[in-house]
């Protein structure tokens, strides 16, 4: 995979992932802006309304018809929370021109133009979005926000994050808040959209067997030409947590307890994030990890047990599904694994297995077009320019003392328990 990036305008960048590994081209547009309480709900709603129709393709039926004309192309969009940023994502996947009849239209050009049309040429009526679409999507968003409690494990993780980052950007829910929806109408939302488009960071990704024509297609696109240059509003440096240990117990109608322990990695060195990833893999990030083996397998305290490293925030979240009566025992045993790591109580075999596991995961990045795009977008947001080979080399270079250094920077920040 050959990666190239080009500045289209200030704050607007084209990223090309040239590969002959796939029979499809994947085009993505990412709109990145700072997470803020006053805009988080409207931004999430904008993404949902845009997918309903553009000024050219006014309904989802017309969009579907266009996708069928493109030999069954796929279109999707969504909202992500990446560090202290909210990202609106739009994707279109089409078969590569090499695999369609020669008399067909330029598939790459048409797919790029169609996706840019959906994102930058919205359907407008009476100085606002189409009222019917806004009202329908408000109802859908209300159901989505209220339905977050249906996935108890995810809900518990989100609530732990909210408590750790109370009154901070990362504590916000990516889809926003029900109480905001009543104050949003079609004209207000359109004004929010215009403000977003004028100020956000815009990244356009194209993955596939791509020739030099793509740069011309993007640069000469009518909607891209209309976009203003900008100093994009997004966060590179992320806020840290409030430094204090909390224990939060929340009651809900559940049969299984959900325990989440939020750990702070007190590091300011970007390179130490690779050591933190290895540390997490040994602690709870794999089936061979200390938490999985000791808490779930040997002590039989948890139905599920593991940990995840959030590199943008430098946090590790330990998650366990447990019998409610095993709450204290589980916490004590998890704390023991953390202390064992501080005391250099992990083997060379555990270290090497963790590194091999991570490297195996890295090798899969270019197995799917969307994971390749996600990787390079992450590099863009964090101001790193590491190739996949660089990533592998950094992991393979981690030594015992690097992991031990991270282990002694770990502090428990928040313990969250969802119980009956």
Same domain, 212 and 280: no
Q: Pick the closest to residue 282 from 336, 357, 335 (CA basis).
A: 357
DSSP string, 21-66: S-SEEEEEEEEEEE--TTTHHHHHHHHHHHTT-BSSS-SHHHHHHH
Euclidean distance between CA atoms 279 and 240, whole angstroms: 20
Same domain, 256 and 161: no
Same domain, 213 and 254: no
Same domain, 265 and 212: no
Of 226, 258, 277, the domain-final residue? 226
SS3 356: helix
Of 192, 226, 260, the domain-final residue? 226
**74 strand-pairing partners:** 93
Q: What is the pLDDT of residue 98?
A: 87
Whether 337 is in a domain gets the answer yes
Whether 232 is in a domain gets the answer no
Q: How many structural domains are present in the chain? A: 2
Same domain, 211 and 253: no
Same domain, 33 and 82: yes
Distances in whole angstroms, Cα of residue 345 to Cα of each of 44, 210, 254, 282: 45, 50, 36, 11
Same domain, 213 and 351: no
Q: Which domain holds residue 193?
A: 2-226
Same domain, 314 and 406: yes
CATH code of the domain covering residue 366: 3.30.830.10
Contact by Cβ (8 Å): 387, 420: no
Whether 239 is in a domain gets the answer no
Q: What is the pLDDT along the chain (420 residues), one digit of tens a residue?
A: 899 999 999 999 999 999 999 999 999 999 999 999 999 999 999 999 999 999 999 999 999 999 999 999 999 999 999 999 999 999 999 999 888 887 667 899 999 999 999 999 999 999 999 999 999 999 999 999 999 999 999 999 999 999 999 999 999 999 999 999 999 999 999 999 999 999 999 999 999 999 889 999 999 999 999 999 999 888 887 888 876 778 999 999 888 999 999 999 988 788 899 999 999 999 999 999 999 999 999 999 999 999 999 999 999 999 999 999 999 999 999 999 999 999 999 999 999 999 999 999 999 999 999 999 999 999 999 888 899 999 999 999 999 999 999 999 999 999 999 998
Cβ neighbours of residue 311 under 8 Å, at least 6 residues apart?
273, 276, 277, 382
Cβ neighbours of residue 148 under 8 Å, at least 6 residues apart?
154, 155, 158, 173, 175
Tokens of 247: 């224990």
Of 158, 193, 226, the domain-final residue? 226
Tokens of 237: 């440096």
**302 strand-pairing partners:** 322
Within 10 A of 91 (CB to CB), how many other CB atoms are there? 19
């Amino acid at each position: 995979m050959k990666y190239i990036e080009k500045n289209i305008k200030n704050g607007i960048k084209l990223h090309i992932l040239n590969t002959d590994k796939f029979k499809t081209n994947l085009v993505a547009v990412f709109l990145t802006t700072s997470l803020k309480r006053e805009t988080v709900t409207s931004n999430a709603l904008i993404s949902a309304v845009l997918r309903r129709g553009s000024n050219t393709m006014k309904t989802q039926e017309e969009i579907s018809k266009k996708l069928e004309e493109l030999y069954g192309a796929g279109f999707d969009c969504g909202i992500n929370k990446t560090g202290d940023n909210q990202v609106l994502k739009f994707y279109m996947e089409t078969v590569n021109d090499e695999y369609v009849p020669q008399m067909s239209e330029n598939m790459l050009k048409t797919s790029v133009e169609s996706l840019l049309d959906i994102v930058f040429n919205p359907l407008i009526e009476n100085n606002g979005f189409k009222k019917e679409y806004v009202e329908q999507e408000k109802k859908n968003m209300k159901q989505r926000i209220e339905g977050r409690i249906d996935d108890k494990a995810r809900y518990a993780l989100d609530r732990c994050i909210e408590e750790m980052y109370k009154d901070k950007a990362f504590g916000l829910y990516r889809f926003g808040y029900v109480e905001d929806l009543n104050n949003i109408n079609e004209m207000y939302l359109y004004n929010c959209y215009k403000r977003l488009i004028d100020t956000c960071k815009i990244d356009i990704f194209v993955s596939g067997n791509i020739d030099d024509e793509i740069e011309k297609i993007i640069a000469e696109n009518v909607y891209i030409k209309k976009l203003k240059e900008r100093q994009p509003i997004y966060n590179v440096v992320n806020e840290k947590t409030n430094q204090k240990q909390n224990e939060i117990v929340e009651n809900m109608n559940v049969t299984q307890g959900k325990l989440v322990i939020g750990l702070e990695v007190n590091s300011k060195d970007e390179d130490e994030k690779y050591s933190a990833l290895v540390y997490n893999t040994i602690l709870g990030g794999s089936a061979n990890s200390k938490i999985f083996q000791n808490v779930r397998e040997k002590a039989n305290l948890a139905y599920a047990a593991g940990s995840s490293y959030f590199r943008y925030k430098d946090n590790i979240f330990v998650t366990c599904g447990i019998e409610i009566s095993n709450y204290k025992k589980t916490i004590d045993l998890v704390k023991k694994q953390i202390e064992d790591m501080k005391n250099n109580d992990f083997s060379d075999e555990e270290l090497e297995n963790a590194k091999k596991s991570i490297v195996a995961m890295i090798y899969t990045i270019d197995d799917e077009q969307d994971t390749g795009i996600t990787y390079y977008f992450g590099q863009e947001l964090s101001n790193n320019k590491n190739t996949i080979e660089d990533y592998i080399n950094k992991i393979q270079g981690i030594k015992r003392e690097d992991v031990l250094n991270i282990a002694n920077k770990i502090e428990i920040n928040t313990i969250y328990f969802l119980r009956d």
